Chains A and B, each alone.
Chain A
Amino acid sequence: MTQATLPKPPSQFSLRYGHLWFVLPGFLFFLAVMLLPLAFAFGVSMTNWSGLGNDLSFVGLANYAEILTYYPFYRAAFHNAVIFIAILIFQHTIGLYLAVLLNEKPRFMQFYRTVLFLPVIMSLVATGFVWTLMLSPNIGLVNPMLEAIGLGFLAGQWLSQPGTALAVIVFVTAWNSMGWSIIIYLSGLQNVPEELKQAAAMDGANTRQIFWRVVFPQLSPAFTALTVLTFIGTFRTFDVVYVLTGPLGAPNFGTDVLGTLIYRTAFGGSSFSSAEIRFAFGVAMALLMMVVMAAICWGLIRILRSREIEG
């Protein structure tokens, strides 16, 4: 009776693929800002284009082959790895410790949390610049302070000694990213049911045993997230190094990372002549780095996820 007024039933095709309409706007945007530039970059990386002029020819995978034996690439990647490991250790120790303290809900918790998170929202360029001033041997605050508290023998040319420059980069990055680790661990800690801790206390565990045997294993999702985020963050680091030790990764490339190396290769460092600029080679390095990082992230997530609790 009402059949005549019913709308036409959807076709098999639209039932099967109709939902794709909803994805289309996002996909178009993704295509425009990600996939097309990526394809373009891949095309460029197979040429010898310097970045200027029309002088280019197709060289195939020659750029990639060259990277495999290009020493500065490995040196820079090694520095990235050092920063990654150091930051990782820092976040999973100091960051976790501070999160545990905050989770005890001390007085003024909101205040502490804000103060500890502040560096995250500040621009790394700005904080990096402040740190160069503080560490300056001429007008800096750090050396006189060390002398004032009797640690004058530690004072030095922080950013121009190979031994300390990389440590300073690590320190500034750590200070800047600590807020993340605290927030991520804190949210993990707040998700641990109170009754689990009470049950462990009933079962005879002391505070230390409760933390290490019951609470800490519940934090593995936070551990995974933080490790992967730290990996990505430290391998694409650029601004801190650029501000603190310059595009050359001074002293003597002692702090050169992939970010500065690629920047210098593709766009030219301050003291290099434009003849040194090899845009296509830089693009090839960036793409290779992206692929390797994606692969490592995938591996990390697989390994770490398998440790997490199902259900």
Chain B
Amino acid sequence: MATVSLRNLKKSYAGAAQPALSDLSIEIADGEFLVLVGPSGCGKSTALKMIGGLEDITSGEVLIGDQVVNDFASRDRDIAMVFQSYALYPHMSVFDNIAFPLQIAKVGKEEIARRVQEVAKTLQLEPYLQRRPGNLSGGQRQRVAMGRAIIRRPSVFLMDEPLSNLDAKLRVKMRAEVAQIQRQLAVTTIYVTHDQVEAMTMGDRVALMRDGVLQQVASPDEIYHDPANTFVAAFIGSPAMNLFYGTLLRDAGGIKVKLGDATLTVPDAALAKYNLVRDHAMTDIIVGLRPEDLEDAALQPDHPVDQVFEAQVALVESLGSDHMAHVALSAPAVAVEDDVDNLEEVSMTGDIQGRCICRFSSQSKARKGDVARVAVACERLHFFDPKTGRALRDT
């Protein structure tokens, strides 16, 4: 068991214009499950490999416990890793695959047999111990890879997208199993994924990365409800947060936000959370609305009338439990592209008619072509600086 500290970790490749990883600093507590998440190419796997000693460190420090391990070989770092491809030894039986770390460490044969049995029992692999990996299903292989990692009882687990080769159903099952095993063993775990659902459901904390830069590291709830910038806001959540350019107005009734033709009153709760909003009165701003904060006003007759806008319904997708209504908002939508180099370049989409996705209850009668009245839970609005994309609050 150990803490892991990354201090100003940097990785640049010769010939590359920008570093693959720049200035990554995270403190990971003993026994914590940290998920590194982000789009492909964001540097999350690079960071993991640097912690594992599989990739050279350009600058910065990796500490496991109190020890700087930059110059340690992988085998001296007391870590175990689960690879995306599982990297099982194809010529060895499941037993030998799991036993390999102990065989290398010259543990006695009886002790090895006992511990492999123990691990196989935990992972329900007992019937398969004599098989070769080639004769196992994806889920079984995944468990063998886990077994090989946990048998050594390392201080730190590294997992590089271990579930991405499984089909959707199995992935959900294994997600829970992996998280449960981690909690049982209480081993510090760093888990890389590009799947935000995995990140949200498994991690104690989630670190979201983009283009080699850490965007935010926080608990799943915090990263969802208090995103640090527009990228985090757009990446976490499905469907994604609706982001629009708007203008802040101030009048006798308080602070209002104007989104195209619609004007919404911003309640004090939102102003308290986004404490820098007041400084941006009368200026342009980016407003974020989560789909679940938008409801059909017909179902909420008591909703304050100054927190409602009217919009034409372009499409309704029924999920059974909810209706996803795509409404046309006459305000420019914000596009947060993965390939934009800087947050400063969050750009406008071509058409001024932004699509806004609302999660209406299944009771909603709104249909395609109707003009719906949309009730906005304005206390949960999000506000971002249109130039930097940062949330308008002190961090």
Q: How far is the CA of A200 from the CA of B53 in the complex (A)?
A: 13
Q: How far is the CA of A306 from the CA of B110 in the complex (A)?
A: 29
The 8 Å CB contact of B73, one of A201, A217, A311, is A201
Q: How far is the CA of A310 from the CA of B85 in the complex (A)?
A: 18
Chain B residue at smallest Cβ distance from A308: B91
A206 adjacent to B75 (CB under 8 Å): yes
B54 at the interface (CB under 8 A from A): yes
- Expressed in whole angstroms, the minimum distance between the Cβ of B382 and any Cβ of chain A is 40
A198 adjacent to B54 (CB under 8 Å): yes
Chain A residue at smallest Cβ distance from B49: A198
A199 adjacent to B83 (CB under 8 Å): yes
B132 adjacent to A203 (CB under 8 Å): no
The 8 Å CB contact of B105, one of A198, A204, A220, A309, is A204
Interface centre among B87, B100, B152 (most CB of A within 10 A): B87
A203 adjacent to B148 (CB under 8 Å): yes
B139 at the interface (CB under 8 A from A): no
A202 adjacent to B91 (CB under 8 Å): no
Q: How far is the CA of A217 from the CA of B104 in the complex (A)?
A: 16
Chain B residue at smallest Cβ distance from A199: B87
- Expressed in whole angstroms, the minimum distance between the Cβ of A105 and any Cβ of chain B is 15
Interface size for chain B: under 10, 10 to 19, 20 to 34, or 35 or more residues? 20 to 34
Instruction: Please report which residues of chain B, range 48-87, place their CB below 8 angstroms from some CB of chain A when the two chains form the complex.
Output: 52-54, 73-75, 79-81, 83, 85, 87
Q: How far is the CA of A193 from the CA of B84 in the complex (A)?
A: 12
Contact with A along B102-145 (1 / 0, CB 8 A): 00110000000000000000000000000010110000000000
Interface centre among A201, A203, A204, A214 (most CB of B within 10 A): A203
A201 adjacent to B87 (CB under 8 Å): no
Residues of B within 8 A of A310 (CB): 132, 134-135
Contact with B along A182-208 (1 / 0, CB 8 A): 000000000001011011111111100
The 8 Å CB contact of B135, one of A201, A203, A220, A311, is A311
Instruction: Please report which residues of chain B, range 274-310, place their CB below 8 angstroms from some CB of chain A when the two chains form the complex.
Output: none
Q: How far is the CA of A310 from the CA of B134 in the complex (A)?
A: 7
Interface size for chain A: under 10, 10 to 19, 20 to 34, or 35 or more residues? 20 to 34
A209 at the interface (CB under 8 A from B): yes
A195 adjacent to B80 (CB under 8 Å): no
The 8 Å CB contact of A193, one of B54, B74, B87, B148, is B87
A202 adjacent to B90 (CB under 8 Å): no
A63 at the interface (CB under 8 A from B): no
Q: How far is the CA of A218 from the CA of B133 in the complex (A)?
A: 14
A203 adjacent to B100 (CB under 8 Å): yes
- Expressed in whole angstroms, the minimum distance between the Cβ of B16 and any Cβ of chain A is 20
Residues of A within 8 A of B87 (CB): 193, 195-196, 198-199
Chain B residue at smallest Cβ distance from A307: B91
Residues of B within 8 A of A202 (CB): 52, 54, 74-75, 79-81
Chain A residue at smallest Cβ distance from B80: A202
Q: A196-B87, A198-B54, A198-B87 are in contact. Are A204 and B135 (CB under 8 A)?
A: no
B101 at the interface (CB under 8 A from A): yes
Instruction: Please report which residues of chain A, range 97-145, place their CB below 8 angstroms from some CB of chain B when the two chains form the complex.
Output: none
Residues of A within 8 A of B132 (CB): 309-311
A203 adjacent to B75 (CB under 8 Å): yes
A193 adjacent to B91 (CB under 8 Å): no
The 8 Å CB contact of A205, one of B52, B53, B81, B104, is B104
B104 adjacent to A204 (CB under 8 Å): yes
B148 adjacent to A198 (CB under 8 Å): no
Instruction: Please report which residues of chain B, range 204-241, place their CB below 8 angstroms from some CB of chain A when the two chains form the complex.
Output: none
Q: A196-B89, A203-B100, A204-B104 are in contact. Are A309 and B52 (CB under 8 A)?
A: no
Residues of B within 8 A of A213 (CB): 89, 100, 104
Residues of A within 8 A of B75 (CB): 201-206
Q: How far is the CA of A201 from the CA of B101 in the complex (A)?
A: 10
B89 adjacent to A198 (CB under 8 Å): no
A198 adjacent to B104 (CB under 8 Å): no
A193 adjacent to B81 (CB under 8 Å): no
- Expressed in whole angstroms, the minimum distance between the Cβ of B2 and any Cβ of chain A is 16
Interface centre among A195, A214, A217 (most CB of B within 10 A): A195
- Expressed in whole angstroms, the minimum distance between the Cβ of A20 and any Cβ of chain B is 35
The 8 Å CB contact of B83, one of A195, A206, A209, A218, is A195
Contact with B along A213-243 (1 / 0, CB 8 A): 1100110100000000000000000000000
The 8 Å CB contact of A203, one of B54, B134, B152, is B152
Q: Identify 6 residue pairs between A and B in the complex whose beta-carbon atoms are under 8 Å apart, listed by A's number.
A: A193-B85, A198-B74, A204-B104, A204-B152, A205-B100, A213-B104
Residues of A within 8 A of B (CB): 193, 195-196, 198-206, 209, 213-214, 217-218, 220, 309-311
What 14 new A-B contacts, CB under 8 Å, besides A198-B54, A309-B132, A309-B134? A193-B85, A193-B87, A195-B87, A198-B87, A200-B89, A201-B54, A203-B80, A203-B100, A203-B104, A204-B104, A213-B104, A214-B89, A217-B91, A310-B132
